[in-house]
A and B are shown apart, each in its own frame.
Chain A
Amino acid sequence: MLALNEIRRGKGRFAAIVSALSLIVFLVLVLGALADGLFFGATGAVRNTSATGYVFASDAEGSLVRSRLPVSDVEKVAAAPGVEQAGPVGVLLTGGVGPDGPIDLAVFGIDPGGPGSPTAVEGTLPTEPGTAAVDVALRDAGVTLGSEVSVGDVSATVVGFTADSEYQLQPTLWTGVETWRSMRDAVRPELRGQTDVINSVAIVTAPDADLGAIAAAVPDTTVLTAAETGLAIPGVEQQSSTLNSIIYTTLAVAGLVVALFFALLVLEKRELFAALKALGASTGRLGRGVILQALIASALGVVIGAVVARLFDLVIPPEVPTLFRTETLLTIAVFTLVAGVVGAMFSLRRIAKIDPATAIGGAL
């Protein structure tokens, strides 16, 4: 009753702390959306497929584009211990032409429906040469089912859409290995004739599979999990860790702001708290009130910050890769509440130290 009435009757000062927290939450959510957007946009093509891992040439350092393997490795990998399925992966980062003009593309040649294949969210996966599924991001470039997308002089008919399947922030085109190879040859004439070269082997492994043993079974290869493959994409890990450290530092600042606010509030209420202690209020009772206030302020900060961030999302230009995920929102909400409570807990010692004897006799 003490804590709630103080907020109710002292709205102005609590508005200040709620605004500060809202601003921080807003900032953190936008940063989080940027981190997620960058991460998801960079890694979808290897993270969101049926593959649990990828096999690379040893000298490729986990880079799909740099890796070159003979197509015969697919069978060797399939025979390795712990591998349930294996399929070829060919990758081509290039430009192409869609209905509305030039587009950036990452062309993936895979076994449609096999390991390393995404799922179609609309239409179907390509079954015939000359057909393809494309990432839904290409809808913005005018692509619809039945559209033609071409790379060089090779074109493919779009029969389906995939989602969360971008690669290095480029929309993907998923097709069979054959069509991928003709597209590659169309833009890289120097590679013509290399009909037995692919980039990687996508694998589905048994739950207890030893990736080292798989690599050992096929000469000159390394094996990474799908998640590791995503992180090995240039810039992904650095971006995530930079943005995450900014996010967590900012959340720590939220804790500091709450700590300072309530330290001031308690300082200002020393006399009152001394009197209340003299009347028989325990440190615990007064402390719980302060923590409840911090929780309310943090919760309001989260709600307002989230609403503002969503509104802000409407005005972010589409080129900026932001992704507002509920999981990220929940994580940030929990961290903010924890930061608020921990911040307020710094006031507990101060409250404990207030001597009720100072209430009586007073300064007058």
Chain B
Amino acid sequence: MTDPANDPVLDATRSALDGPGASPADDAAGHPSALLHVNDVRKVYGSGHTEVVAVSDATMAVDEGEFVALLGPSGSGKTTLISIIGGLLAPSSGRVTVGDVDVTAMNKKELTAFRAERVGFVFQSANLVPFLTARENLLFVSSLVKGISRTQANERADQLLSELGLSARAKNLPEQLSGGERQRVAIGRALMNDPDLVLVDEPTAALDTAMGRQVVELLRREIKARGKTGIMVTHDLRMVEYTDRVFEILDGHLTHVEQPSAIGH
């Protein structure tokens, strides 16, 4: 892999982390009615001398309808934090609430249902089901929640595919799609169940710059058009311009909240 952390221009640690933004904890205090609240979340991997504190005392709030970035160098705890927010990982301590539900209080079964119904994930590599077509990949996730009729699901899948410019590719298997197209299908899949929260981890890692920009632009458009709340993890400074606010993370600490324009290219 080519590690942008070694590239001085793109390295988030060197170019951006001493900006003038407020601390995320202070910022959160100003957003009491935000959709997402992260309170004093800490995550420790391992124990004893192999102990790694991946996230420490993270506090942040994201309003409904916002599309924010979580920016930090490799190993800073971005994936860990977003996994905890999405109910994939239990924190060592702290609390995450989405709307009026406490994600950190749920059992495994409740978390599975929570992820199916209220969270849309876009992974680093699209991770589509290889033996399902683009359209079937969307329909599959709607089969994971109760109460969506077939016609409803079909209509929604077709609508999303058309918005994502994939109508002509609906019947193609992932192996017949380009990297960018696959990531667009993954975006459609994330939005399929009308989630409250869209969580995206390094969506452009496997794409070239132009393709990456196109995907992130589309992601923003879809999230904004549907009034969703989105968090995109990235270490790529060029991608933050598509977001509303940028949370910076370093060594497991959330350091600042910035406007994208405050982050130099």
A contact residues vs B (CB 8 Å cutoff):
1-2, 5-6, 8-10, 271-272, 275-282, 285, 356-357, 359-362, 364
CA gap between A246 and B39 in the complex, in Å: 64
Pairwise interchain contact A285-B140, C-beta atoms closer than 8 A: no
Encoded as 1 (CB less than 8 Å from any A CB) or 0, chain B from 201 to 218 comes to 110011000000000000
Q: Which of A5, A271, A285, A356 contacts B144 (CB 8 A)?
A: A285
Could you pull out 6 A-B pairs where Cβ atoms are within 8 angstroms? A275-B123, A279-B115, A280-B115, A281-B116, A282-B112, A360-B79
Pairwise interchain contact B131-A5, C-beta atoms closer than 8 A: yes
CA gap between A278 and B79 in the complex, in Å: 13
Q: Which of A5, A272, A279, A356 has the most CB atoms of chain B within a 10 A radius of its CB? A: A279
Instruction: Determine, out of B25-33, B82-90, B161-169, B253-261, the stretch whose residues face the partner at the interface.
Output: B82-90
Q: Is the CB of B34 closer than 8 A to any CB of chain A?
A: no
Closest Cβ of chain A to B254, distance in Å, is 18
Contacts of B225 in A (CB 8 A): none
Contacts of B124 in A (CB 8 A): 360-362, 364
CA gap between A105 and B89 in the complex, in Å: 79
Closest Cβ of chain A to B194, distance in Å, is 13
Closest Cβ of chain A to B108, distance in Å, is 9
Closest Cβ of chain B to A93, distance in Å, is 63
CA gap between A92 and B90 in the complex, in Å: 83
Closest Cβ of chain A to B27, distance in Å, is 25
Contacts of B88 in A (CB 8 A): 278, 356-357, 359-360
Pairwise interchain contact A360-B131, C-beta atoms closer than 8 A: no
Contacts of A280 in B (CB 8 A): 112-117, 119, 141, 144-145, 193
Q: Is the CB of B263 closer than 8 A to any CB of chain A?
A: no
Closest Cβ of chain B to A14, distance in Å, is 11
Q: Which of B131, B144, B201 has the most CB atoms of chain A within a 10 A radius of its CB? A: B131
Pairwise interchain contact A281-B144, C-beta atoms closer than 8 A: yes
CA gap between A2 and B82 in the complex, in Å: 28
CA gap between A281 and B205 in the complex, in Å: 25
B residues 11-41 in Cβ contact with A at 8 Å: none
Known: A285-B144, A360-B121. A272 touches B127 (CB 8 A): yes
Pairwise interchain contact B113-A279, C-beta atoms closer than 8 A: no
Contacts of A6 in B (CB 8 A): 131
Pairwise interchain contact A359-B123, C-beta atoms closer than 8 A: yes
Contacts of B140 in A (CB 8 A): 1-2
Q: Is the CB of B173 closer than 8 A to any CB of chain A?
A: yes
Pairwise interchain contact A272-B130, C-beta atoms closer than 8 A: yes
Closest Cβ of chain B to A363, distance in Å, is 9
Q: Which residue of B lies closest to A3 (CB)?
A: B131
Known: A272-B127, A359-B88, A361-B124. A279 touches B136 (CB 8 A): no
Q: Is the CB of B185 closer than 8 A to any CB of chain A?
A: no
Contacts of B49 in A (CB 8 A): none
Pairwise interchain contact B79-A275, C-beta atoms closer than 8 A: no
Pairwise interchain contact A272-B206, C-beta atoms closer than 8 A: no
Closest Cβ of chain B to A165, distance in Å, is 56
Pairwise interchain contact B89-A278, C-beta atoms closer than 8 A: no
Q: Which of A1, A277, A285, A360 contacts B123 (CB 8 A)?
A: A360
Q: Is the CB of B197 closer than 8 A to any CB of chain A?
A: no
Q: Which residue of B lies closest to A271 (CB)?
A: B127
Known: A1-B136, A272-B127, A362-B123. A277 touches B112 (CB 8 A): yes
Q: Which of B121, B139, B173, B201 contacts A279 (CB 8 A)?
A: B121
Closest Cβ of chain B to A333, distance in Å, is 28
Contacts of B205 in A (CB 8 A): 364
Q: Is the CB of B101 closer than 8 A to any CB of chain A?
A: no
CA gap between A362 and B82 in the complex, in Å: 13
Known: A1-B143, A10-B131, A272-B130. A278 touches B1 (CB 8 A): no
Contacts of B127 in A (CB 8 A): 271-272, 275, 359, 362
Pairwise interchain contact A360-B130, C-beta atoms closer than 8 A: no
Pairwise interchain contact B112-A276, C-beta atoms closer than 8 A: no
Pairwise interchain contact B82-A360, C-beta atoms closer than 8 A: yes
Q: Is the CB of B177 closer than 8 A to any CB of chain A?
A: no
Pairwise interchain contact A357-B112, C-beta atoms closer than 8 A: no
Pairwise interchain contact B116-A361, C-beta atoms closer than 8 A: no
Known: A278-B121, A364-B1. A1 touches B144 (CB 8 A): no
Q: Is the CB of B189 closer than 8 A to any CB of chain A?
A: yes
Q: Is the CB of B129 closer than 8 A to any CB of chain A?
A: yes
Known: A357-B89, A360-B88. A2 touches B83 (CB 8 A): no
9 nearest A-B pairs in the assembled complex, by CB-CB distance: A280-B116, A361-B79, A275-B127, A280-B115, A9-B131, A362-B124, A357-B88, A357-B89, A280-B144
Q: Which of B112, B119, B123, B136 contacts A5 (CB 8 A)?
A: B136
Pairwise interchain contact B125-A364, C-beta atoms closer than 8 A: yes
Pairwise interchain contact A357-B83, C-beta atoms closer than 8 A: yes
CA gap between A281 and B139 in the complex, in Å: 13
Pairwise interchain contact B131-A282, C-beta atoms closer than 8 A: no
Closest Cβ of chain A to B102, distance in Å, is 18
Q: Which residue of B lies closest to A277 (CB)?
A: B112
Q: Which of B88, B114, B140 has the most CB atoms of chain A within a 10 A radius of its CB? A: B88
CA gap between A260 and B31 in the complex, in Å: 54
Pairwise interchain contact A1-B79, C-beta atoms closer than 8 A: no
For the A-B complex with A285-B144, A357-B83, A359-B88 known, give 10 more contacts whose Cβ atoms are closer than 8 Å.
Answer: A1-B132, A1-B136, A1-B139, A272-B130, A275-B123, A357-B89, A359-B127, A360-B86, A361-B202, A364-B202
CA gap between A357 and B80 in the complex, in Å: 9
CA gap between A285 and B193 in the complex, in Å: 17
CA gap between A364 and B140 in the complex, in Å: 25
CA gap between A285 and B139 in the complex, in Å: 15
Closest Cβ of chain A to B189, distance in Å, is 7
Pairwise interchain contact A279-B144, C-beta atoms closer than 8 A: yes
